[in-house]
Structure 1
Amino acid sequence: MKYEPTKASLRKHEVPEWFHNAKFGIFIHWGLYSVPAFAVKKLSFSESQNIEEAYYFKNNPYAEWYLNTLRISGSLTQEYHNKEYGEDFSYDKFVPIFNEELKKWKPQEWAELFKCAGAKYVVLVTKHHDGFLLWPSKYPNPFKENYSASRNIISELTNSVKDKGMKMGFYYSTSFDWSFNPEPIDDRTSDMTNGITTPEYTEYVKHHWNELIDDYEPSILWSDIGAPPLLDIFELFAEYYNRFPDGVINDRWDKIFHKDGKVLKMRRTFFYDFTTPEYESYNIIKKKKWESNRGIGNSYGYNKTEKEGDYLSSTELIRMLVDIVSKNGNLLLNVGPMPDGTIPEVQKHVLQGIGRWLEINGEGIYGTHPWERADGKTIDNSKIRFTQTKEIIYIHLLNNPKGKSVRILSLKIPQLSTITLLGYNDQLLWEQDQEDLIINIPENLIESPVYVFKV
């Protein structure tokens, strides 16, 4: 079908099966902010939502917000920067440092790692809020000369990712660009009014999105913070779908109209393929497709102040993935590489752990959809999650069994059902005790982050 630039026409677009089935993707934040690699690590994202706004922005845990935090007087980032680089060392001076380190980058190694981690798609940040471009655009920054990567990161990574059979998507900061607006964001009002609204910036953004779509053919358009009010996003969406009907678009395209630091009105997009809760999840099965995104630690960009204890373990993330998938979501898990493209060992180790589990248990994740309910529990209060395919129910046990059997409360299955444990060949003995299902577990049970029973 041909899509028109109207809400009614765009709403006919259905989320493609590949995105429903993929379940797990990799997010990449890499740029100039990877050189200083600094942010206050005292706050997690969830903690930050319950404190004074000004304090949060001054102590932002996101290393990719380095330029903004640097501009806030008295911030620890400003203190660190002045001590480490000097007060006269501008953010732009990170460009030659990053480009020199970039010579060492090996995109094939990234793609191999992501494939081994079990990811089905990758989303690369092509331009974050600092405005630095990760490709040699035909539409360069009008205020900063050579404000882009010296290698075509987009092209090289896209080719490597697709060679491994994964889909490729692009993040682009559509509303914020601190090379156009030097005013710092230090409270919620300035956060709402920092986006650029000029016709010149709108054209700049439009050219970039069209260039990314035409030259690199992404499967995902991942906007952030909103869009300039003058940008015709429905026209952009229609043109994209007409070229790539199996593409998907996220929900962060809202338009904020503001003048003289005051919000005049906000216009919701009211069209998207999936929502994007950040460092959050949902407690119920959602009818609309969604994708939870987060870092392995508390930052997206590499933050060298974070130590191993600040990162989630592969066990924690596997359990999170299972929970998200049981509720119709995907997990987009971020890696923050060092300036030379090295993915820190702690992040790499986590990805490898997820991959080892998915290699055995992936059939209970990929291509599944939510069951009639997402969760359950055992008699000893161990957590249970459910997924299903057309004829199979997968029971995910999120805790180690405490005996020779597992008693799942309020779960009845057909009398002639067979039960196996993924990773083991033999059928398991089971019985129905009134409303509860009792499954005998193998004697040689190997410890696992999540045990998946196939019914």
Structure 2
Amino acid sequence: MSASTPGHDDPVRPLPGWFDDAKLGVMITWGLYSVPAWAPLDDRLVRLLAEHGEGADRDRSYHAEADADGFDPIVTTSYSEWYQNSVSVPGSPTWHHHRETYGDRTYADFRDDFAAAVEQWSPEPWAQLCAAAGARYVVPLAKHHDGFLMWPSHTPNPHRPDWALERDVLGEFRDAAEARGMRFGIYYSGGIDWTFANLPILRADDVARAVPDSPEYAGYADAHWRELIERYRPAVLWNDIGYPSAAEPEKLFAHYREAVPDGVVNERFYAGTPDFLTPEYATRATSGGSKWETVRGVGLSFGYNRQEDASWTTSGPDLVELLMDVVSKGGNLLLGIGPDATGRISPEQDAALRELGAWLAVNGDAVYGSRSWRVAEDRTAEGLRVRYTERDGDLYATFLDRPSAGVSAPPRLAGAAHAECVWLGGDGTVGTVTGLAGLPVPPVRPGVPEPTVLRISPAPDPR
């Protein structure tokens, strides 16, 4: 993933409606790095994550900034998919780990290990999990920064023979995902390819300058994106860390939009006219502005990190809170999961996604197809946090903290006149309430995490 987000043009094309309706996607980061599957974990990363988390209103990754003590998240990144870069920095935690675990084996030596492991993979468990999580689109990786191709491309790597899978895992997963009603997008690292240049990257500030600038690479990246469009008709072009200007991205966008009229393009080409913005491990503080999608792993890595246990994994209830905070402010949530080399998802990530899906199965009306209300968030007099969404004239108030009996209405709803109120997943209408005073306790639903959602019909005018 990206370590920084330079300036970009604001989207100007009308956004295809399906993307604004979808709200939830899953990114799958799988490649050679899934063999060593290791990155250091450091409490300082948790602190940086908190600084760039809810309400931070930054379109930058928390991995992008070194602190006052010189702690640079590139050298000690928790992103396991950056393994090749990290192991190339003498003295780094990953360099020490690699020497102790693999001796003098090189990163390229993982190629055969990975190709053998892929033979055990089936696309069905991935598709089943993403559907169970309630995702409406999926974005697997076609190429990460190491340049290894996850499909049998007609444009092979000119510097490293056999630097691609023979098995078409992209095509197999696309078929399995689309059979379950999910749209299929593709991630491609257009800005960094270490088989061409700039390995290693030593400082976070150098990431944006690491794009190979040769005509050879421009032609190579352009050929790949065009092949991916022709072969898979992706619903999302999810590029990362820039793009060589000589590849003429505007022409690529025009070709894509002719081939896939309702497809969407992210802003990380850093050129042209994107459809949405992609803050990483960060959310907006308010609604409004261009369409956005926050992207983050379920843990502190996108790729599989064998060190991450439940303590480093976002729980199902916390994913629900994150989703509702993002959706209330007009965003989508793209959650990253990292399979091991054989394609297995960790039990911790699997459980978290299924909990999220169980919640959406009950409360999806507050999410899918919804839009931001004129107010995104609120608190009751008791301090309970509330997030608002609106759909088809109804207002949905998601209580991030469980209400008790007789809880007062949030201030924005105190003037609601003769509103019909329903706790989603309950036995029926709470009643027609003026001022929403004295709401009863919401139902307890075994196997479904909090929060609880109150539907208010019709949506009142906020005070």
**TM-score in same-fold range (> 0.5):** yes
Residues 18-33 of structure 1 aligned to structure 2 (within 5 Å): 18-33=18-33
- Alpha-carbon distance in structure 1 between the residues aligned to 2:444 and 2:353: 23
Would you say the 8 A contact 2:188–2:239 is kept in 1? yes
Which among 69, 88, 108 is matched to residue 71 of structure 1? 88
- Measure how far apart 1:407 and its partner are: 2.8
Q: Does 1:86 align with 2:85?
A: no
State the match for 1:338 in structure 2: 340
- The range that moved more, 415-424 or 370-379, is 415-424
- Alpha-carbon distance in structure 2 between the residues aligned to 1:270 and 1:212: 19
Note closer, same or farther for the CA distance 1:112–1:233 as it changes in structure 2 (3 Å cut). Answer: same
Would you say the 8 A contact 1:69–1:184 is kept in 2? yes
Which among 181, 184, 190 is matched to residue 197 of structure 2? 181
SS of the equivalent of 2:413 reads: coil
Which among 177, 183, 188 is matched to residue 167 of structure 1? 183
Note closer, same or farther for the CA distance 1:389–1:444 as it changes in structure 2 (3 Å cut). Answer: closer
SS of the equivalent of 2:378 reads: strand
State the match for 1:385 in structure 2: 387
- Alpha-carbon distance in structure 2 between the residues aligned to 1:126 and 1:445: 42
Q: Structure 1 length normalisation: TM-score? A: 0.90
Residues 52-131 of structure 1 aligned to structure 2 (within 5 Å): 55-87=72-104, 89-131=105-147
State the match for 2:292 in structure 1: 290
Which among 190, 213, 232 is matched to residue 248 of structure 2? 232
String of CA shifts for 1:194-241, please: whole Å, max 9, x gaps: 110100000000100000000110000001000012111110001111
- Alpha-carbon distance in structure 1 between the residues aligned to 2:111 and 2:150: 11
- Alpha-carbon distance in structure 1 between the residues aligned to 2:33 and 2:354: 26
Would you say the 8 A contact 1:98–1:339 is kept in 2? yes
**Corresponding letter in the other structure for 1:389:** R
Which among 207, 211, 214 is matched to residue 191 of structure 1? 207
Would you say the 8 A contact 1:220–1:249 is kept in 2? yes
- Alpha-carbon distance in structure 2 between the residues aligned to 1:404 and 1:444: 14
**Corresponding letter in the other structure for 1:394:** Y
- The range that moved more, 403-412 or 128-137, is 403-412
State the match for 1:348 in structure 2: 350
- Alpha-carbon distance in structure 1 between the residues aligned to 2:22 and 2:438: 29
**Corresponding letter in the other structure for 1:291:** E
Which among 365, 368, 382 is matched to residue 367 of structure 2? 365
Note closer, same or farther for the CA distance 1:172–1:439 as it changes in structure 2 (3 Å cut). Answer: farther
String of CA shifts for 1:175-194, please: whole Å, max 9, x gaps: 10011115311114432321
- The range that moved more, 217-226 or 188-197, is 188-197
- Alpha-carbon distance in structure 2 between the residues aligned to 1:439 and 1:397: 15
- Measure how far apart 1:442 and its partner are: 4.1
- Alpha-carbon distance in structure 2 between the residues aligned to 1:12 and 1:324: 22
Note closer, same or farther for the CA distance 1:11–1:20 as it changes in structure 2 (3 Å cut). Answer: closer
Residues 218-297 of structure 1 aligned to structure 2 (within 5 Å): 218-254=234-270, 269=271, 271-297=273-299
Which among 158, 165, 174 is matched to residue 174 of structure 2? 158
State the match for 1:140 in structure 2: 156
**Corresponding letter in the other structure for 1:139:** T
- The range that moved more, 424-433 or 343-352, is 424-433
State the match for 2:16 in structure 1: 16
- Measure how far apart 1:342 and its partner are: 0.4
Would you say the 8 A contact 1:175–1:196 is kept in 2? yes
SS of the equivalent of 2:27 reads: strand
- Alpha-carbon distance in structure 2 between the residues aligned to 1:11 and 1:426: 42
String of CA shifts for 1:110-165, please: whole Å, max 9, x gaps: 10111111000000111000000000000011111111123111111111111111
- Alpha-carbon distance in structure 1 between the residues aligned to 2:77 and 2:168: 30
Indicate the percent of aligned positions where both proteins have the same amino acid: 35
SS of the equivalent of 1:109 reads: helix
Would you say the 8 A contact 2:442–2:452 is kept in 1? no
- Alpha-carbon distance in structure 2 between the residues aligned to 1:206 and 1:356: 41
State the match for 2:460 in structure 1: none
- Alpha-carbon distance in structure 2 between the residues aligned to 1:190 and 1:407: 50
- Alpha-carbon distance in structure 1 between the residues aligned to 2:71 and 2:40: 14
Gaps of 5+ in 1: 1-9, 255-268
- Measure how far apart 1:30 and its partner are: 0.3
- Alpha-carbon distance in structure 1 between the residues aligned to 2:220 and 2:232: 18
- The range that moved more, 442-451 or 420-429, is 442-451
- Alpha-carbon distance in structure 2 between the residues aligned to 1:83 and 1:196: 32
Would you say the 8 A contact 1:53–1:187 is kept in 2? no
Would you say the 8 A contact 2:416–2:434 is kept in 1? no
**Corresponding letter in the other structure for 1:76:** P
- Alpha-carbon distance in structure 2 between the residues aligned to 1:413 and 1:202: 59
- Alpha-carbon distance in structure 2 between the residues aligned to 1:58 and 1:414: 54
Which among 321, 328, 331 is matched to residue 329 of structure 1? 331
User: How many pairs align?
Assistant: 428
Q: Structure 2 length normalisation: TM-score? A: 0.89
Gaps of 5+ in 2: 1-9, 50-61, 457-463
- Measure how far apart 1:391 and its partner are: 1.3
- Measure how far apart 1:413 and its partner are: 5.2
State the match for 2:36 in structure 1: 36
**Corresponding letter in the other structure for 1:146:** D
Would you say the 8 A contact 1:321–1:331 is kept in 2? yes
State the match for 2:439 in structure 1: 440
SS of the equivalent of 1:372 reads: strand
